[in-house]
Amino acid sequence: MKLIIDDKIPFIQGQAERLADEVVYLPGSKIGPDDVRDADALIVRTRTLCNRQLLEGSRVRFITTATIGFDHLDTAYLDEAGIAWTNCPGCNATSVGQYVRNALIEAEREGIVKLREACLGIVGYGHVGHAVCESLRPYVREILLNDPPLGDEGLTVLSPLSTLLQECDIISFHTPLTFDGPYPTHHLADERFFESLKRKPLLINAARGGVVDEAALLRAMDKGLVRQAIIDTWEGEPNVNRQLLSKVFIGTPHIAGYSADGKANATLMALRALVRWQSSLSPMDNEPMFDIHLPLAQEERTGINYSPTSDSNQLKDNPQDFENLRGNYLLRRE
């Protein structure tokens, strides 16, 4: 079996070789049709668009993305082509919870928000939203949750988005990016959203770039409808909106989930998904064991000590280096 892997996926070298006869590591954004033509499986990140243009005529029959998000996978085409796929839900949820909590502590130090008096609204209550909720519960006065799909399943603790717009001092997005269906999230925070805000909240986007309409956010900040913003995910990545970057309190290069712990979780989940797929084709006598060793923690980048402002300063000083800062990020510990 031939396996193509994004070369920025950590801890995977030496582990994937237990599953394939040939393993090729390539930059995710550079993986092209010629590379995958004779490959059987791919392990990717968000920088590889897995669609007809990449895969048609190839031998690929399985793709796993070592990420929570999977909007870079054309799932309709993959299903049509008979290519099995998986993502890694919840792999870095605790890491995002750490990022949001620590960013808000920094915002309080700068006088932007008073956490003990604040009502926090969380839009999207999946693995990540739940982790953010638990990380902030000891710090804030009240938490309101919004997630219409879960509401359809009968989760009664949820509030309508209109309530969050009226009552919240902080609104944090943790939804997937979807363009259709009953609850599309593309530009969920749009002009109408911002014009409906009552309390001039601090806005956080650590979900996907397109969930927030960045042009509308800029206008809302200019009008004073939004107190400040913390942005980790951007429309048009890696081409960050420099005007918005200059205005936000914290702007980082899509690294909220980039803890060593979260990355190790994603790598293990991706490898185990590949094992399950292989086993479905040919049952294994013994499932391979993986041996991943996390780096020693640096005190200043561990737990509550980690400050997102250091990562923000690097991006603000070098916005053209978004991809390099993300790809060569010094992983922190949870």
219 assigned to some structural domain = yes
Q: Are residues 39 and 144 in the same domain?
A: no
Instruction: Give the CATH number for residue 67.
Output: 3.40.50.720
Q: Which residues contact 177 (CB under 8 A, 6 or more apart)?
A: 69, 71, 185, 186, 207, 208, 209, 210, 211
Q: Are residues 236 and 275 in the same domain?
A: no
Token pair 């920088």 is found at: 47
Which tokens sit at 287? 């499932």
| Domain encompassing residue 115 | 93-251
Cα separations in angstroms, 330 against 132, 229, 250, 258, 333: 22, 24, 18, 9, 10
Count CA within 13 A, CB hemisphere, residue 319: 14
Q: Are residues 76 and 208 in the same domain?
A: no
Q: Are residues 26 and 129 in the same domain?
A: no
* Gap between the Cα atoms of 175 and 153, Å rounded: 17
333 assigned to some structural domain = no
Q: Are residues 117 and 172 in the same domain?
A: yes
320 assigned to some structural domain = no
Which tokens sit at 320? 């053209």
Q: Are residues 136 and 153 in the same domain?
A: yes
Q: Are residues 103 and 232 in the same domain?
A: yes
6 assigned to some structural domain = yes
Q: Are residues 101 and 214 in the same domain?
A: yes
Write the DSSP symbol of residue 259.
Answer: B
pLDDT computed for residue 296 by the predictor: 84
Q: Are residues 134 and 84 in the same domain?
A: no
pLDDT in tens, 89-128: 999 999 999 999 999 999 999 999 999 999 999 999 999 9
319 assigned to some structural domain = no
pLDDT in tens, 169-226: 999 999 999 999 999 999 999 999 999 999 999 999 999 999 999 999 999 999 999 9
Q: What is the mean predicted confidence (pLDDT) over 121-136?
A: 97
Q: Are residues 108 and 207 in the same domain?
A: yes
pLDDT in tens, 296-328: 878 999 999 999 999 999 999 999 999 999 989
Q: Are residues 9 and 129 in the same domain?
A: no
46, 73 Cβ separation under 8 angstroms: no
61 assigned to some structural domain = yes
Q: Are residues 73 and 12 in the same domain?
A: yes
User: Known catalytic residues?
Assistant: 208, 237, 254
Tell me how many domains the chain contains.
Answer: 2
pLDDT computed for residue 307 by the predictor: 96
Q: What is the pTM of this model?
A: 0.89
312 assigned to some structural domain = no
| Phi, then psi, of 203 in degrees rounded to 5 | -105, 135
Report the DSSP beta bridge partners of residue 123: 146, 173
52, 77 Cβ separation under 8 angstroms: yes
pLDDT in tens, 141-170: 999 999 999 988 877 789 999 999 999 999
294 assigned to some structural domain = no
pLDDT in tens, 19-43: 999 999 999 999 999 999 999 999 9
31, 48 Cβ separation under 8 angstroms: yes
